[in-house]
Amino acid sequence: VSSVEATRAMLDRIEAVDSQVNAYITVTPEQALVQAQDADRRIAAGEIAPLTGVPVGLKDIFVTKGIRTTCGSRILENFVPPYDGTAVAKLKEQGAVIVGKLNQDEFAMGSSNESSYFGPCRNPWDLSCTPGGSSGGSAAAIAARTATATLGTDTGGSIRQPASHCGCVGLKPTYGRVSRYGVIAYASSLDQVGPLTRDVTDSALLLGAVAGYDPMDSTSVNTPVPDYVAGLGKGVKGMKIGLPKQYFIEGLDPDVKRAMDEAIALYKSLGADIREVSLPNTEYAVATYYIIATAEASANLARYDGVRFGHRAENARGLAQMYSKSRAEGFGPEVKRRIMLGTYALSSGYYDAYYVKAQKVRTLIQQDFLNAFKEVDVLLTPIAPTPAFKIAEKLEDPLQMYLSDIFTIPVNLAGTCGISVPAGFSAAGLPIGLQLVGKPFGEQEILTAAYSFE
């Protein structure tokens, strides 16, 4: 098939099923078909890159030139950026066809896609369940076959948890591996860009396509990008796989427990060396994360003031009222909660007790991981305590929602990499993912381990 045919088929599929799934906030058929024609021209000229003509979707947190970018928020409902961010530009350079912008929690704050101003996205495996979040649309589109691959962002699990709930592969690279230039900031010391795909090979391919140093992002790291696909077949014989004992606790959902036990048995049979390890500060991770993430969010979201871009309230009297009305109307309840929490944690008198303390605990959590990696090559853990939950189930209970990221958040605090791989189904037929955590810049090892499992 030509790229134009593949793109048309994808657009038809979106048209047919997305009214039920709501994975897309914006579909871009005209731009996609122009890019597909260009891809066909490149193929005819023999300029074929691995992504040439492949229909890709982007979380609506990636700024895209000439295409509305909402970040799931009313405040950016009509925001059309003047440039492409680095990851998007790299995909385009390699001939990928962007079919649209995907649903997400507002400003990536959430674990269920329910805080989106554009309505919840639904889990294609069971439409009464959430797809997870915040990159819910990026995962649901893979499961619904309305994108071949997508990009998401992961601040505290937002790629890995929805990938797990939707039965796809989601990778959070090491902090600094992928440029965030042109990615709307949530919590800048935690945010990373990564791929969601149907399988591990596509994950390796897409990571290779977007990774690398970028002078436009001072946090991107200048280390070479390996050929991740070439390294996939190395196998896990002799690989040391650690099971952090704090992650296999009483009360883990029985379906999740069974899937983990089966995965461990499979790795053993493939010759991996399985050991127990300890990450003693795990219990503080969620609390630490919600101080740091909200503090950074309260600073990052100060730019939405109704002046420079985004929603501006009408009929305000004076500047101060214009700011407050614009923000009151533009932000949803979860975003407001986070701004208030973060502002509180940073305010004088509380800064040392909360923010500084959280930074210290973060360092301890990071050291836990580095210590574990003296003994093992990768860690194996569940992604989420339960399979996908029902829409509205946790909406009224933010603490319950925050706890659904208990196994993914520590990896962001440590700044290292993790991948979610499908590991079976619950009794109710919902996908369950397992997590492999790697050393800093150990993406190759977790991809290889994931590939052997797949």
Task: Name the H helices within 22-126.
Answer: 29-44, 86-93
Assigned token pair, 54: 């492949």
Which residues are within 8 A (CB) of 16 and not within 5 positions of it... i.e. 6 or more apart? Answer: none
On whether the CB atoms of residues 35 and 65 are closer than 8 A, the answer is no
Residue 49 Cβ, how far from ligand GLN at the closest point, in Å?
A: 29
On whether the CB atoms of residues 452 and 235 are closer than 8 A, the answer is yes
Site residues for ligand GLN, 278-297, by CB under 6 A, read 293
Q: Which residue has the tokens 């070479």?
A: 224
**Stretch binding ligand GLN (CB under 6 A), from 102-110, 246-254, 321-329, 379-387:** 102-110
Which residues are within 8 A (CB) of 249 and not within 5 positions of it... i.e. 6 or more apart? Answer: none
Which of 110/442 has CB closer to ligand GLN? 110
Catalytic annotation, pick one of 115, 116, 158, 404: 158
Position among 10, 109, 406, 449 found at the interface with ligand GLN (CB under 6 A): 109
ω before 19 within 30° of 0 (cis)? no
Position among 35, 94, 103, 111 found at the interface with ligand GLN (CB under 6 A): 111
**Stretch binding ligand GLN (CB under 6 A), from 107-115, 199-207, 209-217, 257-265:** 107-115
Report the candidate in 115, 282, 89 with the shortest Cα–Cα distance to residue 193.
Answer: 89
**Amino acid at position 379, single letter:** L
Which of 20/400 has CB closer to ligand GLN? 400
Position among 54, 91, 97, 108 found at the interface with ligand GLN (CB under 6 A): 108
* 128 belongs to the catalytic site: no
What is the rounded distance in angstroms from the CA atom of residue 443 to the CA atom of residue 200? 12
User: To 10 degrees, the CA torsion angle through 390, 393, 398, 400?
Assistant: -80
**Stretch binding ligand GLN (CB under 6 A), from 18-26, 95-103, 153-161, 235-243:** 153-161
Which of 62/453 has CB closer to ligand GLN? 62
Catalytic annotation, pick one of 73, 134, 135, 203: 134
Residue 359 Cβ, how far from ligand GLN at the closest point, in Å?
A: 17
CA atoms within 13 A on the CB side of 411: 39
150 contributes a contact to ligand GLN by CB under 6 A: no
* 404 belongs to the catalytic site: no
Q: How many CB atoms lie within 10 A of CB 360?
A: 10
Q: Which residue has the tokens 């991809």?
A: 447
298 contributes a contact to ligand GLN by CB under 6 A: no
Coil/strand/helix, residue 169? strand
Site residues for ligand GLN, 377-416, by CB under 6 A, read 405
* 164 belongs to the catalytic site: no
100 contributes a contact to ligand GLN by CB under 6 A: no
Position among 154, 217, 305, 443 found at the interface with ligand GLN (CB under 6 A): 154
170 contributes a contact to ligand GLN by CB under 6 A: no
**Stretch binding ligand GLN (CB under 6 A), from 154-162, 192-200, 251-259, 376-384:** 154-162
Site residues for ligand GLN, 64-93, by CB under 6 A, read none
Distance of CA 69 to the CA centre of its chain: 17
Q: How many residues touch ligand GLN (CB under 6 A)?
A: 13
Which residue number has the CB closest to ligand GLN? 158
Residue 198 DSSP one-character state: S
**Could you tell me the CA-to-CA distances from 6 to 45, 159, 225 in Å, in that order?**
19, 26, 29
Position among 85, 100, 110, 440 found at the interface with ligand GLN (CB under 6 A): 110
Site residues for ligand GLN, 180-209, by CB under 6 A, read 186
On whether the CB atoms of residues 14 and 100 are closer than 8 A, the answer is yes
Which of 5/283 has CB closer to ligand GLN? 283
What is the rounded distance in angstroms from the CA atom of residue 408 to the CA atom of residue 365? 13
Residues of this chain that bind ligand GLN (CB under 6 A):
108-111, 134, 154-158, 186, 293, 405
Active site residues: 59, 134, 158
